Structure 1
């Protein structure tokens, strides 16, 4: 059986949408295709890159602080020598110990002190014997002088013999005076040695922290030898910090400060400026002044020598317009000259608009700004801080149209 041939028009004939339902489906399909095409266009379209790095204008608080590195110290310290000369036989404390006023630190050999007393007592006996001998010599010289004078009256003794007798009498009296002086000196030495015998114990002259002790026992020590160093109690301590000459004018006695130590990360300690040294110190050509801050240490967690990261608050403003400090230092190529830090550049597409401002307090990163024209600067305005980097995601800076003018 042969098939009935069909024409080209018959093969391409589009079926008629006689049903209303089919028409709705077809229209919906076309709409969806168009929405998808538009969405794909906007999604795939790359926004125009800005040639600038920008930062927004914000309203915030700014605190200016001086930040320096210092070290903890005791408020003062005393040196303790041996009260008398003698042999050190025992030490009762170690560095880091807390001691009270009058507490026993070390002991000297009492035998040496007793021996010194015995020697002094013997010297005193010798001095007394010399006095007796000198008194006897004076008595003999006086008697010899009296005999010589009687003989001279009778013409039996020459003038020269008489002078010799008188001289011997004077010498005997001088020897007696010397013996008596020696006895007085021996008595004083005996009293001193007797007192020293009671001072063989070395005690703390104040309460505080032991910083240094003798390296060993058995050595001979005396009043010229420093044996111990005792610092003030650690409940009150000092922080010594060098402040540069550019900042020292903003520091005053009584100013509050805060500091941290690496030993206790995140723990903040309070301090107060106590003293500002007028004596400058030069390090690598820079001038610094030592500032002493006092701090309380009731828990005794702070120790001498610890490093302190100090922050001294010198000024603060609240609820002010602020920009990054870098934006005040940015000047685009071709811009008219102006005093430093007196303008910022607001970004509008690829154009810049100059906004005159008066800078205020700065913490080094953010700076307070006051526009010379009210309402010329608003929160969230984009301010240029520099050109964008020339990489795959940033466009090169075009020739700019600078708008705005300075008053």
Structure 2
């Protein structure tokens, strides 16, 4: 009988035990590390290759236009009445009545307020009595003058008839002196009458000043008194009312920077807005550019006055206005955006450095630097500038000569740019 020989299966533990001798684990780890590094290098190379292909420049563009350009000078100012009067009192006293209030329309000569008149009326009566007394004294002294005059004439006649013997010389001198004293008393009495009349006139004038009248036609902007209030006018006339004349026409006072004042002149048109009506644009016209300067926040400015029509009385004194004065209007001009004049393309990477750069440099590239920082549009004395247009997907420089600017668009006065030309205003890299 043949005996069957059973094949022995390999024991897994035995196999593992054979491979777990000294040095086997470290070799496995070493190979695994190299495998991971190789995979990382391949991944980096693939990413760098695709990134290089995707690192493309895109350009944000706008087009040149043909149109009109309005050049303005901007400033802020305050609306004021064309004529504003402060009504005061020359007298001290107590306010008896107030006959005008805020926003009241008043006319010239209209009563605004009245002061108490009891004291002044008493003084007027007193000086009227003084005048009557002085006049009576004058009449009395005139009688004395006539009496002394007659006595002097009698003595002179008697002396003439008696050959200057009687009456005596002493009696003649006494009669003459008495007559002269009577004449002097008459002059003094007449002066007293004049003085009393003058004082009466003064108090009558003061009495008339207890009534406060409006000096102009206008509207009451401010009332500073109440009935029963005491007014003290010892040092200066207190202000009782402020009246503005005809608010249907107003003036706008603005401070113009010294850099812009040379472009302003009388008669130029302007527009302005106020916070109270931001949706409405109001017209105005320059009536005066003053030569006197003043310094506002360290800047030299010149006060400019504009005439404003206010038929609907929407505008009020004291409102702050933002003004734009039209200093130049250019029609049918070639216009380019100011952003196109400020644009400068970035530096292109050199081909050699792109090929010889390290993998780390490709993985972490530095951003490209522009040729120079962006500059503002050239000033009037620097008319030469340049813009960039696209040809076959590349930015190409175009020299230009610039003219006036409104801060957004600039006039091109020379050749190089035509309406509709595409101009680069910014660079977009990888969609950013």
TM-score normalised per structure 1: 0.70
Question: Who is 2:190 aligned against?
Answer: 180
The answer to whether the 8 Å contact 1:81/1:228 transfers is yes
How big is each residue's C-alpha offset from its partner over 1:301-352, in whole Å with a ceiling of 9 and x where there is no partner? 2110000011112222344322233544567749xxx994413142547965
Is the alpha carbon distance of 1:171 and 1:88 closer, same or farther for their aligned partners in structure 2, counting shifts above 3 Å?
A: farther
The answer to whether the 8 Å contact 2:285/2:306 transfers is yes
- Among residues 362, 376, 384, which one is paired with 1:342 in the alignment? 384
Is the alpha carbon distance of 1:345 and 1:309 closer, same or farther for their aligned partners in structure 2, counting shifts above 3 Å?
A: closer
The answer to whether the 8 Å contact 1:100/1:204 transfers is yes
For the residues of structure 2 that align with 1:240 and 1:45, how far apart are their CA atoms?
Answer: 62
For the residues of structure 2 that align with 1:57 and 1:88, how far apart are their CA atoms?
Answer: 72
Question: Who is 2:142 aligned against?
Answer: 135
The answer to whether the 8 Å contact 1:329/1:340 transfers is no
1:236 equivalent to 2:249? Answer yes
- Among residues 66, 74, 88, which one is paired with 2:73 in the alignment? 66
Further displaced range: 302-311 or 206-215: 206-215
The answer to whether the 8 Å contact 2:341/2:386 transfers is yes
For the residues of structure 2 that align with 1:107 and 1:299, how far apart are their CA atoms?
Answer: 33
Is the alpha carbon distance of 1:351 and 1:205 closer, same or farther for their aligned partners in structure 2, counting shifts above 3 Å?
A: same
Unaligned runs of 5+ in 2: 1-49, 346-370, 373-377
The answer to whether the 8 Å contact 1:127/1:183 transfers is yes
For the residues of structure 2 that align with 1:87 and 1:166, how far apart are their CA atoms?
Answer: 57
Unaligned runs of 5+ in 1: 1-41, 395-407
Question: Who is 1:364 aligned against?
Answer: 407
- Among residues 311, 314, 321, which one is paired with 2:324 in the alignment? 311
Question: Who is 1:98 aligned against?
Answer: 105
Question: Who is 2:223 aligned against?
Answer: 213
Is the alpha carbon distance of 1:345 and 1:308 closer, same or farther for their aligned partners in structure 2, counting shifts above 3 Å?
A: closer
Question: Who is 1:13 aligned against?
Answer: none
Shift of 1:232: 0.7
Shift of 1:55: 5.1
Aligned length: 344
Matched residue SS, 1:235: strand
For the residues of structure 2 that align with 1:200 and 1:284, how far apart are their CA atoms?
Answer: 45
The answer to whether the 8 Å contact 1:57/1:379 transfers is yes
The answer to whether the 8 Å contact 1:86/1:113 transfers is no
Question: Who is 1:14 aligned against?
Answer: none
Is the alpha carbon distance of 1:184 and 1:343 closer, same or farther for their aligned partners in structure 2, counting shifts above 3 Å?
A: closer
How big is each residue's C-alpha offset from its partner over 1:36-88, in whole Å with a ceiling of 9 and x where there is no partner? xxxxxx9x9636125x8765434443221111101100010234344777543
The answer to whether the 8 Å contact 1:356/1:371 transfers is no
Q: Which has the larger radius of gyration?
A: 2
Is the alpha carbon distance of 1:154 and 1:81 closer, same or farther for their aligned partners in structure 2, counting shifts above 3 Å?
A: farther
1:286 equivalent to 2:276? Answer no
Question: Who is 2:356 aligned against?
Answer: none
- Among residues 145, 166, 174, which one is paired with 2:176 in the alignment? 166
